[in-house]
Amino acid sequence: MAYDWLQPSYQVTFKGGVKLSQREKSAEENIFIMDDFADLGVTGLTLADYETSSNVEYGLDRFGPGASAGKLWDMINTFELQNFRDEVESRIASYEIDEDISAGYLMADMGFGKWQVIAGARYEHEERTGRGNRYDDELETFTPVSDKFSDANWLPSVVTRYDLSNDTIIRAAYSTGLVRPNFEQVRSSYYLENDDGDLKAEFGNPDLEPLTTQNLDFGIEHYDDTLGVISAMAFYKDIKNFVYEADVAGRPGYENFDEAVTYINGDDAYVYGLEINFVHQVSGFDNWLDNFLINTNLTFTDSEATVDWIDDGQLVSRDITLPSQSDTTANFALGYEVYDVSLRLAANYKSKYLAELGDVEDSRYDIYEDDNLTLDFSAKWLINDHVSLSFAANNITDEPYYVYNGQKRYNAQYESYGRSFTLGVQLINW
């Protein structure tokens, strides 16, 4: 709903609304584990029985003999798969979650001459119910478990704009936000194992709090006569309750455990940086050069978060960069438009970032995704008012996906996707 309040020297538009959402997540997994093949009567138990090549060449290097997937499946298919269903793993991986979110917002859009101010707040209330299974390895018993979680958050924001001139704008904003943990992290599943007196557990955490942020932004934009723009935006984010996987053995409630792996909320984290944007339509040459368009975006970011664990009864911690946060990202696009033809060549770069913590206690096992530079090309030709033809070439440089542990020479994952090409025809008002 909206209401306009007009005054001689200013105007205000009030807006408000409500939203209700319901989600249900049901995960039912069947996990099959096949081992002890000798006891099953399989005679071919060496790599030589399934070898496909004596020296398989991967993108990184040659890694010696490889196994034939077809030969392995031929052997596996001689057995009845259902006989190898792992009851424990299957039931622990299965769960149900119901989530209800009710939200409402109220905002005011105010104009005072060269000033524009948008202020408002959003309220969200979450109710979540989860059901799963607890398995006790020592007793070999399953117990149904259920959990409930309730949470409410106010999310205020203020966005301002000031027209310094007809071509230059200053912007400033304070905003808040939240990100809820995914269902896998809050699942009601619990695996308890007693390994010769060593008590171990692995479980979801239904009590995880949502990640919340407070954000400050300040920037300036300048527009030129050719619809181009140059802008700079400084930003700061204060983050609470980011989620990471940890061993909570030794913490309150888990003092007698030797290992207890789950997801927990971290302490404060922050992100700050600078984003620069430049868009320009080439002009002034009175020839084919005037058809070029340049679009560049560059972002510099710094971040820090703290993770902790129990070591010999003492709480210790270390600082990390915020996961999935690159220090530098850049995008460059060169376009060319003439008559009914549009061409785009785009380069996208992101520096390395922390993908996940391999071991909370040891930075040598931190998992990083390597820096990445991709080059894409697209073209579109409007043949007439009803038919257009398009072409796209993605990952022209065949950039691989490279993940490593601690240092780049310790590869953890390598994937090569190759180049992709798409040709399309679009019919308009046919």
pLDDT tens digits, 248-294:
888 888 888 888 899 999 888 999 999 999 999 888 788 888 889 99
Residue 153's SS3 state is: strand
More confident residue, 54 or 352: 352
pLDDT of 317 > 80? The answer is: yes
Q: According to the model, what pLDDT value does residue 54 have?
A: 66
Q: Which residues contact 333 (CB under 8 A, 6 or more apart)?
A: 293, 294, 295, 296, 344, 345, 346, 347
pLDDT band at 235 (very low <50, low <70, confident <90, very high): very high
Q: Which residues pair with 306 in a beta bridge?
A: 319
Domain boundaries, the chain: 1-28+91-266, 32-84, 290-430
Q: Among 53-57, 175-179, 230-234, 259-263, which stretch is predicted with the lowest mean pLDDT?
A: 53-57
pLDDT > 90: percent of the chain:
50
| Overall average pLDDT of the 26-43 stretch | 85
Return the pLDDT at 59.
Answer: 64
pLDDT digits (tens, 9 = 90+) for 94-117: 899 999 999 999 999 998 889 999
User: How high is the pLDDT of residue 128?
Assistant: 95
Exposed e or buried b for every residue in 137-157, given b needs 16+ CB within 10 A?
eeeeeeeebebebebebebeb
**Mean pLDDT, rounded, for 315-335:** 93
pLDDT score of 92: 86
Spell out the SS3 assignment of 245-270.
EEECCCCCCCCCCCEEEEEEECCCEE
Of 53, 206, 73, 62, which Cα lies nearest the Cα of 127? 206
pTM of the model: 0.80
Tell me if 282 sits within 8 A of 292, measured CB to CB: yes
Whether residue 225 is predicted with pLDDT greater than 70 in this model: the reply is: yes
Nearest partner of 319 among 302, 298, 299, 301, judged by Cα: 302
Average confidence (pLDDT) over 209-233: 93
Model confidence at 7: pLDDT above 70: no
Which residues of 10-50 form beta strands (DSSP E)? 11-27
Between 197 and 7, residue with greater pLDDT: 197
Give the per-residue pLDDT at 273: 97
Does the structure show a pLDDT above 80 at 6? no
Class of domain 1-28+91-266: mainly beta
Quick one: 9 exposed, middle or buried, by C-beta within 10 A (0-12, 13-18, 19+)?
Answer: exposed
Is 58 a residue whose pLDDT tops 70?
no
| Residue 56 reports pLDDT greater than 80 | no
